[in-house]
Amino acid sequence: MSHRLTHTALLVLVTLSAVNLAHATNINVTGLFTDRAMVMIDGGKPRVMAVGETVQGIRLLRADAHAAVFDVDGKKRTLSMGESYSGGANNSAKPVAILSADARGQFFTTGTINGSSVHFVVDTGATSVTISTQEADRLGVDYRRGQRGATSTANGIAVAYRVIFNNIRVGGISLNMVPGTVIEGGGLPLALLGMSFLNQTSMQRDGTTMTLTQRY
């Protein structure tokens, strides 16, 4: 009986080890500093890693204001602000972005529009990705050639232009030719990550964490 129990226990340990090895690790970079990086691992709470530190098998090799280099499963992975990496047994995993909510339950993230850094707030009530004319000028978006119209804002009716953004990137998700809106005036301090982007992802919320998974 003792021999059988020991054999069964070994089988359980082997099975559990296989499950752990098959677990896909997800890293999302939410902050970059000299020799440090703020990361979310497997949807956990954000934490700051120092160069040389290892967390859950992930080692931070280098970090600066532009990117962080990690050792994951013996391979180097370079991630910039807002980018994520999904590793493990399922190497064909779809691109994801993991966002954290603030104290008010709003989800903010840093991404890019046409390759330039942009601060977003997730807004499921916005039909499209929306920015101000000031932000459009900074990004080099020629909104004046877009279809001119009007839209309702918190400050009343504003002139708006329909545009197409060549590329929008959030975390590991990169989408091309995304419909957008540019609103005149300075009443939009952040870009709205609206449904023209979100509709191309699957959204899953778990407490203060939201995971966006790119559809194909």
Domains of the chain in start order, with CATH, are 25-92 (2.30.30.830), 101-214 (2.40.70.10)
Residues listed for the chain: 216
pLDDT at 7: 44
Average of per-residue pLDDT across 152-178: 89
Q: Which tops the pLDDT comparison, 83 or 54?
A: 54
Which structure tokens are listed for 161? 């232009």
R_g (Cα) of the chain, nearest Å:
21
pLDDT at 11: 33
Is the pLDDT at 213 greater than 60? The verdict is yes
Is the pLDDT at 183 greater than 80? The verdict is yes
Average pLDDT, the chain: 82
CB 210 within 8 Å of CB 98: yes
Average of per-residue pLDDT across 31-57: 86
Is the pLDDT at 175 greater than 90? The verdict is yes
Average of per-residue pLDDT across 107-124: 92
Angle at 164 between CA 79 and CA 84, to 5 degrees: 15
Give per-residue pLDDT as tens, 27-39.
878 788 999 998 8
Is the pLDDT at 91 greater than 80? The verdict is no
Residue type, 168: I
Q: Cα dihedral sign for 117, 118, 122, 127? A: negative
Give per-residue pLDDT as tens, 129-141.
999 999 999 999 9
Quickly state the pLDDT bin for 87 (edges 50, 70, 90). low
